[in-house]
Amino acid sequence: MSDVNIKITDREGVIHDVVAPTDMSMNLMEIIRSYELAEEGTIGVCGGMAMCASCQVYVINDPGLEPMGDEEDAMLAEAFHVKDNSRLGCQLHIADAMEGLEVEIAPYP
């Protein structure tokens, strides 16, 4: 079993140091939901299918994330509050390379 440490700034500006398991096939959206860092019904609305952008985060420190896929890129092209460092939490699968990741949860529409 392996865990990574991630810093997540919630929508109120509060920084949370969380521990995320790499052996449970979770993604960042699920971590945010499990730690209840966003109001119920405002994160992962589509269930993690890259179809709503409610799990959008801004990557502050990227220790080695996987490149963005076509579906994620297409969804972000239609989303609100998008920045150059935007990613969808549902597309960021927890892996050892995420140790030290820092993100901020984007505003909900």
Whole-number Å distance between alpha carbons of 49 and 3: 24
Tell me the domain boundaries of the chain: 1-103
Pick the CATH number of 1-103 from 3.30.70.260, 3.40.50.300, 3.10.20.30, 3.50.50.60: 3.10.20.30
Q: Which single residue is written with the structure tokens 């699920």?
A: 30
Reading the block at residue 31, the tokens are 């971590």
CA-based nearest residue to 88, from 101, 63, 109, 105: 105
Average pLDDT over residues 9-15: 98
* pTM given for the model: 0.95
If DSSP codes are grouped into helix, strand and coil, which group holds residue 45? Answer: coil
Alpha helices in the chain (DSSP H): 28-34, 70-78
Whole-number Å distance between alpha carbons of 80 and 52: 10
pLDDT single digits (tens) 19-33? 999 999 999 999 999
pLDDT single digits (tens) 51-104? 999 999 999 999 999 999 999 999 999 999 999 999 999 999 999 999 999 999
